[in-house]
Structure 1
Amino acid sequence: MKLVVLLIGCCFSLYLFASPVLVGISQDVLPAKSGNTISFERTLLQSLLTELGYQPEFVPAPHARMTRMLQLRQLDIAARQGGTPQAGLFYTRPYLQFDNRVFALASFRGALNSVQDLSRYHLASFQNARQILGPEFAAVVSTAPSYREVISHAQLVDLLKKQRVELLVLDKVTFERRWRETGGQLAQVKSFELFTKASHSFACHQAALCQALDRKLQQWQDNGALARLRQQIRQQQNSQN
């Protein structure tokens, strides 16, 4: 019993003296509305950083602003960083991958064979899509009749459901879950595969911190802890729905 008390006391002392780090994570981080990905990222970062002796302080922020906040040292770590690596920042190995697709109502009769074809339509996408999906997409949407990026995935899906846009771009799993939440059937929509899968990493402005985080992330990948956490979060979310 004394040993247990001593160990608890030691762990509590380590937590009190853990180095604080500011971690940028999705702005849409309300506990009641968090999706699988947000919950997964938050739990993963909490666990990895605690094992490394850090005490994370999560800072909800738009994805489009997180890279700049990192460059200004308003954050120590930013989650879900994809697209072209930025000079002066350091990155871990990828921990997350999205299958971004173009979605339309089943009644849509347009032909989409390439990203260039999107320039003819009113469309919307997830926040920071210009950066994540690359320069070709960014150039195309600049000439589209209308284009907007939306933070909330639920609101993004609602734009298509209410026919306020002709097309939207979103991860396949995320879209299907949000569409079903609206009471919709997947037979009511169609999708087009125009993009390669997008990989995302954690980014830091300190090389040493990023290297330590990367090593710990590799350990979790190698021993299966990362896959188990992803499955655990998915089961928790399914039980709440």
Structure 2
Amino acid sequence: MRWLLFLCIACSFTAQAKTELTILVGLDKPPYIDLNDSSGYELDLLRLLAQKMGYDAVFLHVPNARIKDLMLDGRADIATLQKPDPTQQKLYFSLPYIRYQNVAASLASKSLQLMQLEQLKPYSVVAFHNARTLLGPEYQQLVRFVVNYQEVANQSQQLQMLLLERCDVVVMDRNIFYYYAKLAGQSMQPFDIAPLFSASLYSAAFKNERLRNKFDKALAEVQQEPVFTQLQLKYFSEVNQQLQEPAFQ
């Protein structure tokens, strides 16, 4: 009888554990992640995907640089914002679930006419934190020759510096730039937006292959539903999350 009672309790804990997915996500980064009310495009999308997988999402917010290490330490079920790494044998990577498009924004009144990265050299450029590392070797090499280059962690500060003409160009994600411009009461007319960078597609990482497969299946389904467009319009006011075609069978 005691053995049967122990088995029932153990099964109960196991079933309870499987109702939630702990997801490692980044810190405050509206419109993707807003810690004020746990909203944002990425959080809402991940909640929806977890729900389709049969779970409730529980978010663990940490700096992006720590996400993979914490995942490898077994601190969560899912690690977000990862680039698939074929040399990483301990993780399974999903299809891309989110798209970032970095741009070079300047005041339209300056008429900089930016068409390629090399044209940034004579200007004062303010980029987001770690842009030098994240935007690839060509950008990393280029910024060594930019007249005045700096990176800041507070992205709303980038917009203010641009509006106050304390810099010529800001480098940041298109959706983040639009978010802060709208918050500051600015229309898009005063700005030139130059897409000098390739889009960045990010995957989620798992230690469980079956869980990864369920995530890919849920993602493929969501992309075919109206809610996928609705989420983009809600947070970005445009549809710009073009991901590669899911290949889930």
TM-score (ref. length: structure 2): 0.70
CA distance in 2, matches of 1:90, 1:220: 21
Whether the 8 Å contact between 1:21 and 1:57 is mirrored in structure 2 is: yes
CA distance in 1, matches of 2:36, 2:22: 23
Deviations 1:102-149 (A, max 9, x none): 011234355633223334433223344345432212222344332214
Query: Which residue identity lines up with residue 18 of structure 2 in the other structure?
Result: A
Q: Comparing 194-203 with 106-115, which one deviates more in the overlay?
A: 106-115
Extract unaligned runs of 5+ from structure 2. 1-12, 238-249
The verdict on how the C-alpha distance between 1:17 and 1:77 changes in structure 2, with shifts beyond 3 A counting, is closer
- Secondary structure of residue in 2 paired with 1:23: strand
Shift of residue 25, structure 1, vs aligned partner: 1.8
Q: Which runs of 4+ in 1 moved over 4 A?
A: 231-235
Q: Does the C-alpha gap of structure 1 residues 121 and 232 become closer, same or farther in structure 2, counting only changes over 3 Å?
A: closer
Q: Cα distance 1:173–1:39, how it changes in 2: closer, same or farther (>3 A)?
A: closer
Aligned to 1:97: 99
Q: Gaps spanning 5+ residues in structure 1: where?
A: 1-12, 236-241
Q: Looking at CA atoms only, which structure, 1 or 2, has the larger radius of gyration? A: 2
Contact 2:80–2:205 under 8 Å retained in 1: yes
Matched, 1:202 2:199: no
1:168 to 170, 173, 184: 170
Output the amino acid matched with 2:70: M
Give the number of equivalent residue pairs: 218
8 Å CA contact 2:161, 2:167 repeated in 1: yes
What does residue 77 of structure 1 align with? 78
Deviations 1:29-59 (A, max 9, x none): 444477xxx6222122223223324443211
The separation in 1 between residues aligned to 2:179 and 2:62, in whole angstroms, is 23
* Alpha-carbon distance in 2 for matches of 1:70, 1:217: 21
Preserved CA contact (<8 Å) 1:141 1:147? no
AA partner of residue 116 (structure 2): S
Aligned to 2:41: 40
Q: Which residue of 152, 155, 161 corresponds with 2:157?
A: 155
Matched, 1:183 2:181: no
Q: TM-score, normalised by structure 1?
A: 0.72
Q: Judge conservation of contact 2:34–2:40 (CA < 8 Å) in 1.
A: no
> Which structure features the higher share of helix residues?
1
SS at match of 1:163: coil
Change (3 A) 1:65 1:139: farther
Q: Is the 8 A contact 2:70 2:76 kept in 1?
A: yes
CA contact (8 A) 2:96 2:203 kept: yes
CA root-mean-square deviation: 3.3
- Percent identity between matched residues is 23
User: CA 1:51/1:184 → structure 2, altered by over 3 Å: closer, same or farther?
Assistant: closer
Letter matched to residue 78 of structure 2: I
Do the aligned partners of residues 185 and 19 (structure 1) sit closer, same or farther apart at CA in structure 2, a change above 3 Å counting?
closer
CA separation of 1:128 and 1:56: change in aligned 2, threshold 3 A: farther
- The amino acid across from 2:48 in the alignment is S
SS at match of 2:118: helix
2:66 corresponds to: 65
